Structure 1
């Protein structure tokens, strides 16, 4: 199990704005504020964050990273994709079924730094 992940980004505020909007349909909210690093986690009363953004030391950004966030259902994947595009993300795969596994429904966007961000219905538990 992964406890948390940190992305190094060129423009911390642009990334905070992007992820705040793009991850809202998945239930993520900004939680941990370790300036200039910010952590996102489940929108509950807990303090745990599992996804962090921090500025790159040289301002150049890091190599492209792939992150997959679990969604509750296909409608949530669709909402993620729509909100991520509205927040300035670039389409990298419209919502739909993939050939990876049966019932694997996901969408992909590129964030402001070109990281490949995915929302996916947990195909191993998907019904119908």
Structure 2
């Protein structure tokens, strides 16, 4: 990853917190630190994704989270839809990016395009 962390404001912290916790759980991402009106999410104690309610929400942005395998992409999509996300591209190959690009896209709170992506080929049986 080229960023240490990324953060932005959301219009409703509790709604966003509930959405991101449910949607990102299949990727092993959870709360690393939290305070009043803000949360830092990540893995293995490393907070890399921050959001809070300290100002206006930015215009729609795109966030792509790394998935270890295609099953995680599918589980992310199901969890994000169940959390109230709107379909913006069901799990599948996106060969226009590269032959093994497997991603799913959901519109979350504040209109952000949230993606889970795996760059690995499907394992051979």
Q: What TM-score, normalized by structure 1, do the two folds share? A: 0.89
Counterparts of residues 75-94 of structure 1 (less than 5 Å) = 75-94=71-90
Per the alignment, residue 69 of structure 2 pairs with 73
* TM superposition outliers: structure 1 runs of 4+ over 2 Å: none
CA distance in 1, matches of 2:109, 2:93: 25
Residues 26-84 of structure 1: CA deviation (Å, up to 9, x unaligned): 00011111321110011x3x3x20001111524xx211110100001111000000000
Q: What TM-score, normalized by structure 2, do the two folds share? A: 0.91
Counterpart check, 1:95 vs 2:96: no
Partner-residue secondary structure (3-state), 1:93: coil
Residue correspondences, number: 120
Question: Are the equivalent residues in 1 in contact too, given 2:37–2:54 (CA < 8 A)?
Answer: no
CA distance in 1, matches of 2:69, 2:77: 13
Per the alignment, residue 17 of structure 1 pairs with 18
Q: What is the root-mean-square deviation of aligned Cα atoms in Å?
A: 1.2
Counterparts of residues 8-87 of structure 1 (less than 5 Å) = 8-42=9-43, 44=44, 46=45, 48-58=46-56, 61-87=57-83
Partner-residue secondary structure (3-state), 2:58: coil
